[in-house]
Amino acid sequence: MTKRFEGKVALVTGASSGIGQATALAFGREGAKVVVAARRVQQGEETAEMIRRNGGEATFVKADISSAAEVESLMRATIEVYGRLDCALNNAGTSGNLMPAVDVSEQEWDSVINTNLKGAWLCLRHEIALMVKQGGGSIVNMSSVLGLGGTPIGASVYVASKHALIGLTKATAVEYSKQGVRVNAVCPGFIETALIEVATNAPGAKEQLIALHPIGRLGTPEEVAEAVIWLCSDAASFVTGHSMVVDGGYVAQ
């Protein structure tokens, strides 16, 4: 049976753990050659190795996506190794520290925005340029249900970064749709990964988060990966500028 991404090259940032790792594995299973990007070398190499053990093809490239120079090297390495770029998931992100909005320092603001928003933008501009040159491609930006509304848990900078990412998704989707580049966002509810530890450490905190999801549980990285894979596939050829919730009913309430 032909795999959906046979002959295609997919880049996943933040693929050393969580949602990024699950999506990189899914791309590998579907036949794509996968570029695994992150800062932690051991974990990133491990993701690439997992893909290869499953019979796929993958290369780890160490990159801090908040650095313009490192993003440039990442894109150069992608082209040097695989010669093209068909799909990209801009997933690398940080929760930042939870605190009331009035207590957020300039340093905290810069740290979260430089990763979640500037980092995605740095990747996006290279990805779009490569895809336009090739005649098309599909990009997904990892937003959040906190890109669609606020939260009282003390995550104002994160919320701002994820809302802005949806704006960037719409703007670039509209600008480049005629050149064959589709840009969409995925908005997960709370997913069982290391990222939500800041919000689940206190006693009873996890139960409170679960209660926000009508489905009665948190999501898994694999459930988010499914949405990314579909948006990147030809099955979604008329879908662009969309923000797809994968949230167990969180925003439907």
43 binds ligand NDP (CB under 6 A): yes
- Smallest gap from residue 179 Cβ to ligand NDP (A): 26
- Smallest gap from residue 231 Cβ to ligand NDP (A): 15
Q: What are phi and psi of 92, to 5 degrees?
A: -55, 135
> Applying CB under 6 A, which of residues 66, 78, 172, 184 lies at the interface with ligand NDP?
66
- Smallest gap from residue 167 Cβ to ligand NDP (A): 16
3 state DSSP class of 38? strand
Both tokens of residue 158?
Answer: 């994160």
> Applying CB under 6 A, which of residues 142, 168, 198, 227 lies at the interface with ligand NDP?
142
In one-letter notation, the amino acid at residue 165 is: L
57 binds ligand NDP (CB under 6 A): no
Annotation marks residue 158 as catalytic? yes
**Closer residue to ligand NDP, CB minimum distance, 9 or 146:** 146
DSSP 117-131: IIIHHHHHHHHHHHH
Both tokens of residue 135?
Answer: 């005649």
Give the residue among 71, 85, 165 at the shortest CA–CA distance from 130: 85
Query: Do 65 and 93 touch, CB atoms closer than 8 A?
Result: no
> Applying CB under 6 A, which of residues 59, 115, 138, 243 lies at the interface with ligand NDP?
115
CA distances from 113 to 38, 58, 71, 191 (A): 17, 29, 16, 21
- Residue 66: CB atoms within 10 A of its CB come to 21
- Smallest gap from residue 63 Cβ to ligand NDP (A): 6
Q: How far apart are CA 228 and CA 219, in angstroms?
A: 14
> Applying CB under 6 A, which of residues 9, 34, 35, 38 lies at the interface with ligand NDP?
38
156 binds ligand NDP (CB under 6 A): no
Residues 78-107 that bind ligand NDP (CB under 6 A): 91-94
Summarize as ranges the residues that interact with ligand NDP (CB under 6 A): 13-14, 16-20, 38-40, 43, 63-66, 91-94, 115, 119, 142, 144, 188, 190-191, 193-196
